[in-house]
Chains A and B, each alone.
Chain A
Amino acid sequence: MKKPVWIGIDVGSITCKVLALDESERVLASTYRRTRGRVVDAAKEGLAAVGDVLANRRVAGCATTGSARRFVGTLVGADVVTNEITAHARAALALHPNARTLLEIGGEDSKIILLRDGVPVDFAMNAVCAAGTGAFLDQLAGRLGVPVEKLGDLANASTEEVAIAGRCTVFAESDIIFKQQAGHRIEDIVAGACRALVRNYLNDVGKGKRIEPPVVFLGGVAANAGIRTAFADALDLPVTVPEHYRVMGAFGAALIAKRRGVDGSNMRPVDEIQASDFRPETFACPHCANACEVVRFVEAGHVVAHLGGRCGRWSGSGKGTVERSSLVLTSA
């Protein structure tokens, strides 16, 4: 009999992460790639990237997380659909059981999670602004004409302190233009922008939160050495970046799938997923004045599931109907 594997898929606004976990909760394979607005394709490509592991193992559980968790959960036949805050906390606790503060910066979301004695006691996420997120760095890289992956190295090469207004990405861009015109080096501007992002994060997401060590920094932005340094300086605390920092959401999702304790998954075979022409379509429900936006998932010319609607009308329509109430709570 093949050994079991648990799959975690984290599809966010900017990137898609897929991870495979073995019975001793060791990471067998993981992948991290840009979504580029094509959620279904990104998930398929992610699964293909860990295909070798899946070919030799039996899928015992699968969980999805991230902003496209329900879409992708329907596509792959996920056993658990969970939110990204819970998934990140779960993963960080597995690697750093003594962690007391988790900082996470994703593509368009940023969050802080406070843990005490291994229990999450508080969290916050960015509200209506993405200035303290990876989107800020993407915009910065675009403006400066350098790959976003190089920003950390550039920041580390800074020799002079340059202040950048980081309260808003638009104002930050204006400020960067001005600093360029004023003749500042690109390295110093990037380091200033990193400090601005961290300042924004701490003043927005981290406001009023008691940040205590050990501090663990998660998410794709943790790859940026400039941000790591800026956090350590601003907090005056060491900041740890865990081994799987880029795929912690997927790691947490796989752990949640595994710890459900059910050996046997509803996940569809990977070749079936790859061959699927699964696509979401949106329509306005015509049955009342609410005109709810409902998403229907279509595959091979048939509607296979619905998502959305406030009255429950669309629950039970389509063979794999996604009901909010049946999927949202990992702890239910």
Chain B
Amino acid sequence: MNHFTFSWGTNHIAVRGLLRTLGHDLAVPPRISPAIAERGIACAHPFLCFSGKLVLGQLAAQLEDGERRLAFMSSLGPEACRCADTSDYLQSLFSDYGGFSAHRLGGGNFAGALVNLRSHFGPQVRRRQCFKAYAVFYGKVDLLYKVDKRCTRLRCLSSVPEQVRELEREALERVDRASGPFALWRVSRWFDRAAARLPLREEPPSLRIGIVGGEHILSELDSIMAVIKGMAERGILLDWRSGFRMLARSTEKTLAPLKDRCRQYLQEAPSTSEIFSCAHALDFVSEGYDGLLHIYAFGCMPQTALKPILQRIAKGAGVPLLSLSIGDRFAEEGLEGRLEAFIDLLDARKSQGVLT
């Protein structure tokens, strides 16, 4: 039985791994593009955040292609947005498409996940199958995150960025093909070795920038991340520590120490996204990064609320912060201009010299 889903960057590879373990498959979601954004804007409530509109655009495109069974993975943490269970909202939004059904996979713990899988695929799903499906899913999530982060670092550190792009492409294909935990372990080992063989630049990174922000926009917005990853190829080390992996992995237990760390900045009951961004910004400034880049979707409430907090953190540490709200149109030109100026500013600060 074929399913479809939305893409947070490469997360559909992990969802597809889960479904294949259960004998099903997943269509490859369309890539994020201005056309997809337009489609999402057309069907979404205007107050929905930009990430949400991109997701709806992807879903609408696939529904028009005849897909009907939506399977999506949501966060286990206390999220207030679409990482939470949005099945009812989607069901009402797309009620015109006959036969459409939305199914949230996952469930907070193993028992919940098993209940969810059985409600979706029927009572024949066995505990062992469920265990394997989630082992594959989380194995792929972890490996995809590792590939993304390592390749972005390598784009800065390698003397041949084209080889990094090729390595990334091949790694994603291998992760997609891997059918079990052992196969994933082999891919991981292959990736480590291949990455270690890449030739490195002699000079150290010119700047180190820590990226925080909406996990969705960071992981899924290919256009934005392409612009940002392009900075890595010019010798700027980029680092981010959140993303789909964090949302998929986070639990109250793992969030507690991060939340404690941010106590003086965050108010009661912050969302997972806020906790990650705040904690990681604190990490970056304490580790001496040259600048902080805050990227979030226009309309994202948690990240909008976080903006003044990040300003406080940056100001207190004397580290420049650039907040980029990505909203409703791609506007790459304006985005690039701001990023370029930010880098010029960091360069000038570092050399304590006059601009260029």
* A90 and B226 within 8 A (CB): no
Q: Which chain B positions have C-beta within 8 A of A330?
A: 340, 344, 355-356
Q: Which chain A positions have C-beta within 8 A of B162?
A: 312
Instruction: Count A-B pairs with CB separation below 8 Å.
Output: 106
* B356 and A290 within 8 A (CB): no
Once bound together, how far apart are the Cα atoms of A145 and B191, in whole Å?
66
Once bound together, how far apart are the Cα atoms of A121 and B349, in whole Å?
7
8 Å CB interface, A103-125 against B: 109, 118-123, 125
Q: Which chain A positions have C-beta within 8 A of B311?
A: 208
Instruction: Tell me if B's interface is mostly helix, strand, loop or mixed.
Output: helix
Once bound together, how far apart are the Cα atoms of A121 and B347, in whole Å?
10
Q: What's the minimum C-beta distance from B233 to chain A, rounded to whole angstroms?
A: 6
Q: Which chain A positions have C-beta within 8 A of B33?
A: 290-291
* A85 and B337 within 8 A (CB): yes
Q: Which chain B positions have C-beta within 8 A of A25?
A: none
| CB of B194 within 8 Å of the partner chain | no
Q: What's the minimum C-beta distance from B229 to chain A, rounded to whole angstroms?
A: 9
| CB of B352 within 8 Å of the partner chain | yes
A128 with B233, Cβ < 8 A, contacts A290-B31, A328-B336 known: no
* B308 and A122 within 8 A (CB): no
A 314-332 to B, binary, CB cutoff 8 A, 1 in contact else 0: 0000000000110011111
* A331 and B356 within 8 A (CB): yes
* A122 and B320 within 8 A (CB): yes
* B234 and A128 within 8 A (CB): no
| CB of B256 within 8 Å of the partner chain | no
B 47-60 to A, binary, CB cutoff 8 A, 1 in contact else 0: 00000000000000
| CB of B30 within 8 Å of the partner chain | yes
* A121 and B222 within 8 A (CB): no
* B222 and A290 within 8 A (CB): yes
Q: Which chain A positions have C-beta within 8 A of B337?
A: 67, 83-85, 125
| CB of B223 within 8 Å of the partner chain | yes
* A325 and B234 within 8 A (CB): yes
> Which residue on chain A has the smallest CB distance to residue B329?
A128
Q: Which chain B positions have C-beta within 8 A of A67?
A: 333-334, 337
Q: What's the minimum C-beta distance from B80 to chain A, rounded to whole angstroms?
A: 22
| CB of A189 within 8 Å of the partner chain | no
| CB of B327 within 8 Å of the partner chain | yes
> Which residue on chain B has the smallest CB distance to residue A108?
B334
> Which residue on chain B has the smallest CB distance to residue A293?
B34
| CB of B215 within 8 Å of the partner chain | no
A119 with B354, Cβ < 8 A, contacts A67-B333, A289-B31 known: yes
B 337-351 to A, binary, CB cutoff 8 A, 1 in contact else 0: 110111111011100
Q: Which chain B positions have C-beta within 8 A of A127?
A: 298, 325, 327
| CB of B35 within 8 Å of the partner chain | yes
* B352 and A119 within 8 A (CB): yes
* B343 and A329 within 8 A (CB): yes
Q: Which chain B positions have C-beta within 8 A of A154?
A: none
A 253-286 to B, binary, CB cutoff 8 A, 1 in contact else 0: 0001001100000000000000000000000000
| CB of A89 within 8 Å of the partner chain | yes
Once bound together, how far apart are the Cα atoms of A123 and B352, in whole Å?
16
Once bound together, how far apart are the Cα atoms of A256 and B341, in whole Å?
14
| CB of A86 within 8 Å of the partner chain | yes
Considering the complex of A and B, which 9 residue pairs feature the smallest CB-CB distances, nearest first? A85-B341, A310-B226, A83-B340, A331-B347, A86-B344, A83-B337, A289-B31, A330-B356, A128-B327
Interface on B for A, CB 8 Å cutoff? 30-31, 33-35, 162, 165, 222-223, 226, 230, 233-235, 298, 308, 311, 320, 325, 327-328, 333-334, 336-338, 340-345, 347-349, 352-356
Could you jot down 12 A-B contacts, CB within 8 Å? A83-B336, A86-B344, A86-B356, A119-B354, A121-B345, A125-B337, A127-B298, A208-B308, A291-B31, A311-B165, A330-B355, A331-B344
9 more CB-based (< 8 A) A-B contacts, given A331-B344, A331-B355: A83-B344, A85-B337, A90-B355, A119-B354, A127-B327, A128-B327, A290-B31, A328-B340, A329-B340
